[in-house]
Amino acid sequence: MHDHSPKGLSSMSTIISPAASEHRLSKGTIFLLAGLAALGTLSTNIILPAFSGMGTSLDVSSRDLGLTLSSFFVAFAFGQLLAGPLSDHLGRKWLVLGGLGVFVVGSVLCAAADSLPFLVFGRIIQAFGACAASVLSRAIARDLFDGEVLARALSLTMIAGAAAPGFSPLLGSALDGLFGWRPIFLVVAVFAMVLSLHYVTHIGETLPRRRRTLLKVSTFATAYGRLIINPHFLFPAASVSLIIGGLYTFFAAAPSILLDELGLSPVELGWTFAGTVLIVFLAGFLAPHLAGRWGQRRIGMIGLLIALVGSLLMFVFAAAPSFTSFTVVIAVYLFGMGLINPLGTAIALHPFGKQAGLASALLGFLQMSCAAVGASFASILPLAPLSSLALVLSIASGLAILTFIPVALSRQFKALPVHE
């Protein structure tokens, strides 16, 4: 495959790490990288158990509060397209501190909200700050580390990102039960301030001026355009993004289904989300082992088919839903998602080593865009919440399979070697 990227693109889109990494992968560094990476999902899922109290306070339904999620996803999607190139030009420090500062402002606005539009506005501000933190967690890791140490740092960061959506609702339900929903936003604001202080005192700027690049909007806009029409990126990236979009749609619909429709308490909702982490972890653990034996493309397609089965089974139980049936079918979907996510991501990014930063940002944009569309449809469809979720997940899974078929059938799509 030929590299059609514009001349000089690699210097702009790839984060160049120091030649020799002298920085030690300490617990403090892991805390910072993991905290930055998890901030977006933490600030989203921690509020889900409080939807009932938020709805009562603001005189809206849990389903209406889905707008606080879809608006966050849209802002997060577009914001990260700019965060990477800006950090390559200005350095990491001001983007990290600026992003965390914006996040704190958005969190305070959310805590003070007296209406749904005010809350949505605060969530959008939160998202613009969180997306910078998320993008720069990987950039800082690349600045500091090389080789196996870099792989370990990114692996630990990804684990934190996967754990945050599962365990943060437990914290959110506890805070909501003790203090109400508003202090939840103040808690995540304090967490962002702790990250800022830790960054300033322990890490600091990691991109020297001599390694920074010129900021040309036309250059990276053209590069994004060429990447999105490249089938080696588009097909696997679209498949993964559709499935991840389904995951965030589940997050958005869960309060209406579990709290309103099935009558769970906020604490029970929190434990339900914690259980989902185990499913995703199990699938993520099995994915490289299975792919090493039967191939990444084959296991990726099997994961998509499993996700589709879970989505269709949801329709079967939608007429007379129960907590047990819902848990089983969503577990099936999440297991399939856990298989395709790491494998499809590797297939999408592997051919673009010289454009890794750009490709990662575009993949993140596609994922959050699908999340925004899915969450919006789940909240506005004239169906019961569980039926709406089943329809969105089924469509997403079906489209993901269609876009992955060229990947599964063509030997031109190769991914990174799997190391068990």
Least confident range from 116-120, 222-226, 369-373: namely 222-226
Residue range 158-163: average pLDDT?
Answer: 67
Give me the pLDDT at residue 407, please: 87
**Do the beta carbons of residue 115 and residue 123 sit within 8 Å?**
no
Instruction: Tell me, yes or no, if the pTM score tops 0.85.
Output: no
Which pLDDT does position 343 carry in this prediction? 83
Confidence of residue 75 (pLDDT cuts 50, 70, 90): very high
Which class would CATH give 229-420? Answer: mainly alpha
- Taking 80 as the threshold, does the pLDDT of residue 219 lie above it? no
Band (394; pLDDT cuts 50, 70, 90) = very high
Instruction: Give domain limits for the chain.
Output: 25-203, 229-420
pLDDT interval class at 4 (50, 70, 90): very low
DSSP code for 25: -
Q: In this predicted structure, what is the pLDDT of residue 307?
A: 95
- Looking at residues 294-314, what average pLDDT do you find? 92
Higher pLDDT, 179 or 350: 179
Residue 402: pLDDT band (50, 70, 90) is very high
Q: What is the pLDDT of residue 160?
A: 66
Q: What is the pLDDT of residue 201?
A: 86
User: Tell me: the pLDDT tens digits for 106-157?
Assistant: 999 999 999 999 999 999 999 999 988 877 776 777 677 665 566 566 666 7
CA atoms within 13 A on the CB side of 240: 27
**Are the folds of 25-203 and 229-420 the same?**
yes
| Over residues 67-71, mean pLDDT | 87
For residue 377, what are the contacts with CB-CB under 8 A and spacing of at least 6? 249, 388, 391, 392
pLDDT, residue 112, reads 95
Q: Over range 195-220, report the average pLDDT.
A: 74
Q: What's the CA gap between 16 and 279, in Å, rounded? A: 35
Mean pLDDT confidence for 159-178: 80
Which comes out higher in pLDDT, residue 415 or 254? 254
Choose among 142, 262, 153: nearest CA to 211: 142
Three-state secondary-structure class, residue 175: helix
Please tell me the CATH code under which domain 25-203 is placed.
1.20.1250.20
Residue with tokens 């600045």: 143
Please determine, for residue 311, whether its predicted confidence score (pLDDT) is greater than 90. yes
Give the per-residue pLDDT at 151.
55
Q: Are 249 and 397 in contact (CB under 8 A)?
A: no
Q: What percent of the chain has pLDDT over 70?
A: 81
Stretch 72-93: mean pLDDT, rounded?
81
Indicate if the pLDDT at residue 68 is higher than 80: yes
Which amino acid is residue 66, in one-letter code? Answer: G
Residue found by looking up tokens 């190391």 in the block: 419
* 135 vs 168: which has the higher pLDDT: 168
Please give the mean pLDDT across all residues of the chain: 81
